Amino acid sequence: MSFEFSKIKKYVSKAKKLANMPPNLATPGIMADKLIEDFSTVPGDYLHLTVKKAATLPLIKAVDNEDGRLLILFHNCDLYGVEERPIVLIGKGVCFDSGGYNLKHSNMHEMKFDKAGAMSVYSVIKACKNQDFPRPVIAILPLVNNKIGSSQTFPGSVITTTLDRTVEIRDTDAEGRLILADAIETAQRMFNPEIIVTVATLTGSCANALGEHYTGMFSNLIDCPDVTRNPLSTMVFASEKAKDPIWPLPVNKEHVKNLKKSKVADIMNYNKKECGGSSAAAFLAYFIEDTPWIHLDIAGTAWKDDEATGRPTALLLTWLESMVKEGN
Ligand SMILES: [Zn+2]
């Protein structure tokens, strides 16, 4: 089987345009409505999207109990039959990140770009729909604002997730990993994914380590015996082909162990003693249950000179093409 996306640049531009939107015009509610309307213009199955309110999602609710939500978009999925397992793409959609009670202290205007992961994933599933990509794909977009205010979660709070894991929120500015964890639990509980890819402007540490050229890549597939034939190496080749550079960084049990030192919960969302990019990835890894997983930390690459770059849209589209060609 062979499949190629045309007009990749068009989808990169779309992701850019959405990520550039100012926070007053791109609240979670406004963005959800906008994306639903845009996605509905493409003819397809009736059941092509669903929206879950924050009330049913404990970690999303802990970050934004007013406007938070989870948007789920489907392409080519037969949700009632036993069909091919879907590729699940999860994008962090923090429409504005003030840090919450752990308030940020510099360059806060840039935090409108904290939704770039979700906007890139949206653009990718729109391309799949427009061009009839031959495999099932699900996009899961947690959309929130991380604000300050009397109803915001205090550092030290303990939240119980849908699957009864307990999380101590040590730092309210480490909110991206919380909303992604809710999305990961939802994906595994409902969709039996073949693979999960998380895309997020997740850590300043990753941006500091790799600069603005390389997206950080983490995965539980690195130790896979046949590493040359797995979706991770396909991602590396796609990166070269798309000229959308990535660089591997480690995530392992030691990083997870460091987050399990909470005295009041199963895991904490932040422990300053550990390297930030790997630690954030480890938090996500804790929620992944034997599902192949690739995590792209785009904190250094999602915007440049006050403008979104649209990355990693080209990478993801090229990777999806390769997943079809190689029969992965
Ligand atoms: Zn934050």
- pTM confidence score: 0.96
16, 61, 112, 177: which one is catalytic? 177
| Residue 145 φ/ψ region, left for φ over 0, alpha for ψ in the -120 to 50 degree band, beta for the rest | beta
Can you give the pLDDT at residue 174? 97
In whole angstroms, what is the distance from residue 96 CA to residue 118 CA? 13
98 CA → ligand 1 middle, Å: 7
227 CA → ligand 1 middle, Å: 33
More confident residue, 40 or 173: 173
Measured in degrees and rounded to the nearest 5, phi and psi for residue 210 equal -110, -10
Can you give the pLDDT at residue 46? 47
Mapped onto helix, strand or coil, the DSSP state of residue 145 is: strand
176 CA → ligand 1 middle, Å: 6
122 CA → ligand 1 middle, Å: 21
135 CA → ligand 1 middle, Å: 34
10, 34, 85, 104: which one is catalytic? 104
Check if the beta carbon of residue 73 is closer than 8 Å to that of residue 91: no
Enter the tokens of residue 221. Answer: 């597939």
Q: Does the annotation count 104 as an active-site position?
A: yes
**pLDDT bracket for residue 77 (50, 70, 90):** confident
pLDDT in tens, 91-121: 999 999 999 999 999 889 999 999 999 999 9
Average pLDDT, the chain: 93
Task: Kindly state the helix (H) or strand (E) to which residue 308 belongs, with its residue range.
Answer: strand 307-308
pLDDT in tens, 189-246: 999 999 999 999 999 999 999 999 999 999 999 876 665 568 889 999 999 999 999 9
Task: Kindly state the helix (H) or strand (E) to which residue 97 belongs, with its residue range.
Answer: strand 93-97
List, as ranges, residues with CB under 5 A of the ion ligand 1. 97, 173, 175
In whole angstroms, what is the distance from residue 279 CA to residue 231 CA? 23
